[in-house]
Amino acid sequence: MDATVKRKARSPKSARPPPLRPIELAQDSDGAHLELRIWLRLLACATRIEKALNARLRKEFNTTLARFDLLAQLARNPEGASMSEVSDLLMVSNGAITALVQKLEADGLIHREVSPEDRRTFRLRLSQDGAREFGLMARRHEEWVIALIGELSPVAQSDLLQHLTLLKRRLDKHA
């Protein structure tokens, strides 16, 4: 009976389960699960970097990393890009791109032009305001990435880039 009373007397805050712990695979002496451990570490690092960049973009520019990435693709392609091309470049669905495009267009950062090759489609381009705003964001973005990754030594950065490039090439063969 005392246990029942104690359970009811607990506040909802103290009844919460403990916080979740990240997945960590035990490393066997023979290196088992190494590939899974690498995958989890890559994912954790990418997620942390994305969160940091997203928070800084939101704070300084009142925007998101997704919006920044779309503007970056258009800045790299001054001739414009179709919705499906942007979707492929960003590796997201056409639906996600549609929502982003509508918001960026409403904010005056991009505009649509009818495609001269196929008048049924259109190409997305940065507006003058979009190019100016992206230039400001890109400079800050670069500073933030350098600060986040720059804590690694130049040798470690070079090695990491080399290994990730090799991994990407091998993954591209399976795509």
User: Which tens digits make up the pLDDT trace of 119-170?
Assistant: 888 899 999 999 999 999 999 999 999 999 999 999 999 999 999 999 999 9
Query: What does the pLDDT look like over 65-113, one tens digit per residue?
Result: 999 999 999 999 999 999 999 999 998 888 889 999 999 999 999 999 9
Statement: residue 8 has pLDDT above 70: no
Question: Amino acid identity, residue 125?
Answer: R
Note the pTM of the prediction, 2 decimals. Answer: 0.76
One DSSP character per residue, 20-44 reads PPPP-PPPPTT-TTHHHHHHHHHHH
Type of residue found at 24: E
Pick the CATH number of 62-156 from 3.30.70.20, 1.10.10.10, 3.40.50.2300, 2.30.40.10: 1.10.10.10
- Note whether 95 and 104 are within 8 A (CB): no
For residue 167, CA distances in Å to 21, 46, 156 come to 28, 15, 16
pLDDT given at position 120 = 83
pLDDT, one tens digit per residue, over 22-37 is 655 555 555 668 999 9
What is the reported pLDDT for 94?
86
